[in-house]
Chain A
């Protein structure tokens, strides 16, 4: 199948973006956007649809199997992982853009460090040895699956980088902490959660179906709110 791929690009240090369009052919129905980007960059000479020479496309990747979150980008308008976006399911015209909520470094590479800073600001670490009990096990496990890709922030109407609202990306690890600790030990985190998550969440739940890991964001939010804001025991 032949694909016409429009990629939104930006020079390093540049302030304006532009589209480059490339042709890509693949007979492999399982080929992903990640495989396509790799193949384009491995061409001896990367030519666009008009035969003009272009520099390699910058993007981040690591595991190529939905386990690390590195390759999050916006594909045909939807935030997702490039390694999870199968070309044949996207149609012959594909648009690839960087996540828009984060500063663009170059092309599809964005700086998501604010996400990790926010986790630090919420003081997300254990204060004493973990207490992993059976009742909370599945909630704990699901929370620990978060890959920190940022897709949930991309789609959230309330999140912007540097804002007071930290967004869904901070919820799983808050949940993990709450399932493994006594609430009295992490009152400071609960307070920060109320301020930086609960107060800013518009409950639109746009993050509900966007997580590449299939994390049930609503369930995590409900439980984290109950524990951190209302002091209730986690069910």
Chain B
């Protein structure tokens, strides 16, 4: 029998989930990634994964998970997709448990913790290294299929080309970065390439592997992107050497409190005072914005602290031991005895490749999953929904890809004209985007950002890939400009309220050298 193949770009959570799903169906996969799965950004995920398992006696339900996700995302996500996500969430977690993820549990019953934007305990966790623990289990499972010949890994290969014609994916080009050789792979491809953090080098909590080039290639190949203006600033991050380090939301889920310092020296627990119901566990967009306002007010000391000093020994030992180790290691302070100075940092991209509920893009034969895809998180993602979206999205994309799988052709290319991005252009692009896509934005800043991006794009010394990156940067900037309202992670000081008119998804496509931006209904399958 002829073997049928699907290409998966990216070997993090969504890529592995897709590989396992396809292997179980007897479909072969080419699992292509810059580095082995052990180095994927997914191993950095800390706090947990959501699902209405209702093991804590709180009568949690799938419909509450659905409602919280919709509300947290400010109703910009597709209802049908979120319904499927939340309905499947308990089974996703139980499957990961069966695969050996050492989730915290009591006599086999999974423990759940509180997480932002959710009133009930719904987040399954493995101390504060949940991503790493899930990845270890999934990597083991994929290893089985590697040994059986279903998964062929290409662990030091980079996507450098996406060839589309007449709305159909023809092939992809990858480079073996160890040998410098180029290969073309035919057949259906799932992009599991992560979010857009490569556009903000050194300023995010993510991996340095992500350059954003894969997204830029997709955009320029005609793949539609959506909701690019929504960038999640995680409230509690700290600057360490070369990046932002995340202080997991689990710290607040377990009782950590945010405060600013009044001029009198007294602590001001601003989240608890302003939001008595959820307090420190309001959705991330709200917390980050409040932190922005409090640190920009002359009434307070300009810093926010996360106080975990009252957490019990049991919590430190069984739930947050890894987090404590990390803070001690990189900040030289013990969160058990001293509050941690924190500030918001770029953590997640709600926007990305537009996919339908089956994870298909507008290009036939090209799918996307994980943070690369825009589907479940609307204007603001809830903590704990990222890993859920990645595992479920990878599985769904794989189930869809089955019908496209065909005998794969891998061709070694004798020649390929590779385009390389320049560090100085990357830095310029990053700095311009940071200037206009902060927590609080205004028309002025966004206008300036667009002008500067156009200026950068008009330079004659740009490589092809740098041009592509700037085009996608412009798509982000123009989406932020066009959304003249505030919603979720997109806060406009000149339009501080939400507008029903904008309860729509922004979709950008690139055709014949032009970016076309439209606002469409979240339920629309087209566009």
Contacts and interface: CB of A to CB of B under 8 A. Distances in A.
A68 B43 contact: yes
24 contacts: A30-B330, A34-B241, A38-B202, A42-B423, A42-B427, A44-B424, A61-B208, A62-B35, A62-B208, A63-B41, A65-B243, A65-B326, A109-B178, A116-B36, A120-B147, A125-B141, A126-B100, A132-B97, A141-B102, A141-B127, A144-B102, A147-B38, A148-B36, A177-B140
A100 interface: no
A77 B311 CA distance: 40
A12 to B, nearest CB: 7
A15 B100 CA distance: 43
A12 B44 CA distance: 31
Nearest to A138: B102
Given A12-B180, A120-B143, A145 B129 contact: yes
Nearest to A33: B241
Contacts of B423: 41-42
Interface of A: 12, 28, 30-32, 34-35, 38, 41-42, 44, 60-70, 83-84, 105, 109, 111, 113, 116, 119-120, 123-126, 129-130, 132, 134, 137, 140-141, 144-148, 173, 176-177, 180, 214
A222 to B, nearest CB: 20
Q: Which 9 A-B pairs have the closest CB atoms?
A: A130-B100, A125-B144, A35-B241, A62-B39, A144-B136, A68-B39, A148-B38, A129-B98, A35-B242
B415 interface: no
Contacts of B103: 132
B105 A132 contact: yes
B240 interface: yes
Nearest to B36: A116
Interface string B130-150: 001100110011011011000
B100 A66 contact: no
Contacts of B36: 113, 116, 148
| Tier of interface size on chain B | 35 or more
Contacts of A119: 143
B264 interface: no
Nearest to B147: A120
A146 to B, nearest CB: 8
A195 B245 CA distance: 41
A179 to B, nearest CB: 9
A126 B156 CA distance: 26
Determine which residue in A12, A44, A68 has the highest number of CB atoms from chain B within 10 A of its CB, and name it: A68
B360 to A, nearest CB: 29
B309 interface: no
A141 B130 CA distance: 10
Contacts of A84: 329
Contacts of B136: 144, 146, 173, 176
Nearest to A60: B35
Nearest to B45: A67
A83 B102 contact: no
B468 interface: no
Nearest to A113: B155
A38 B240 CA distance: 14
Contact of A30 (B44, B143, B240): B240
Nearest to A125: B144
